Amino acid sequence: MTSNDAERPDDQPRPSGAFPGAPDVESVFPEGQAPSGEPGDGSAGAPAPGAAVRTRRRWSFAREVGVIVVAALVISFLIKTFVVQPFVIPSESMENTLIKDDRVLASRFVPRFLDINRGDVVVFKDPGGWLASQPQQESTGLVKAGETFLTFIGIRPVDAGEHLIKRVIGLPGDHVTCCDAQGRVSVNGVAIDETYIKPGSIPSEIEFDVVVPEGSLFVLGDNRQNSGDSRYNTDKPGNGFVPIDNVVGTAVAKVWPLDRASLMRNPGSVFEDVPEP
């Protein structure tokens, strides 16, 4: 026995690794698990607090984005339904006020909350047979679904296939005639000077004499010699008059193309001398 052995009793614990063959403390714990229970190099440990915080933040951000997107879609739908709706001009019948393929915004307040006035440019559903039936190539599959969705929320203009746009000349009860000695249209006995008709056009190439029924309108295009309006649909449902219930709004602004963008105002001075029927 050496002097060192004499100074260290056999029952006194020896420090780990004090002699060859003694196990290292770390080796008695499962791989990757430190004595304290904190994660080591393996994958068995609990997730770090920082990772959990980052995960919660990602989910919170995703929820916020979802809420914003849904709110935007709801607002867009409500605007289209109750405020304004885009439309595409389908023909040359309203030149030069509106040109084919112009985009306009129609106010949905009319006729729901506001009255229609003489001179208003109104968008309305075909009363029946005004639009020539033309075969149209329809989209299919995902393209059709996307177009339907964008139209539904008001981003994509409504297809012009079932809508027309004309100017109101006669309101319910009005007596509208053409033509006087100077070739002008008269409303309730007063001839009007129509400043909005296309240069080179005349107020009408045919004569007419009508009284507008209750709940209906008498409409004409600004391009009089190229407009299938009330004058030419007397053999169709409604006898050429447009039911007010078919009106979906009044055009209030041109928005496309940008170089033609402007507000659309009622030419009130044209009809200011027209008496009530």
Is there a catalytic annotation at residue 80?
no
Query: Are 110 and 120 contacting, i.e. CB atoms less than 8 angstroms apart?
Result: yes
Catalytic residue among 80, 91, 93, 254, which? Answer: 93
Active site residue 166: yes
Q: Which of 80, 91, 107, 166 is catalytic?
A: 166
Q: Examine residue 47 and say whether the peptide bond preceding it is cis (omega within 30 degrees of 0).
A: no
Distance CA 173, CA 60 (A): 61
Specify the DSSP element, H or E, that contains 53.
Answer: helix 49-82
Residues near 95 by Cβ (< 8 Å), separated by ≥ 6?
Answer: 198, 222, 223, 226
Between vectors from CA 114 to CA 94 and to CA 258, what angle results, nearest 5°?
40
Burial environment of residue 219 by CB neighbours within 10 A (0 to 12, 13 to 18, 19 or more): buried
Is residue 222 a contact partner of residue 119, using CB atoms and an 8 Å limit?
A: no
Q: Which two three-digit tokens encode residue 11? A: 């029952």
- Could you tell me how far CA 265 lies from the centroid of its own chain? 23
Sign of CA dihedral 128, 130, 133, 136: negative
Classify residue 53 by burial, with Cβ atoms within 10 Å: 0-12, 13-18, 19+. Answer: exposed
- Which residues are annotated as catalytic? 93, 166
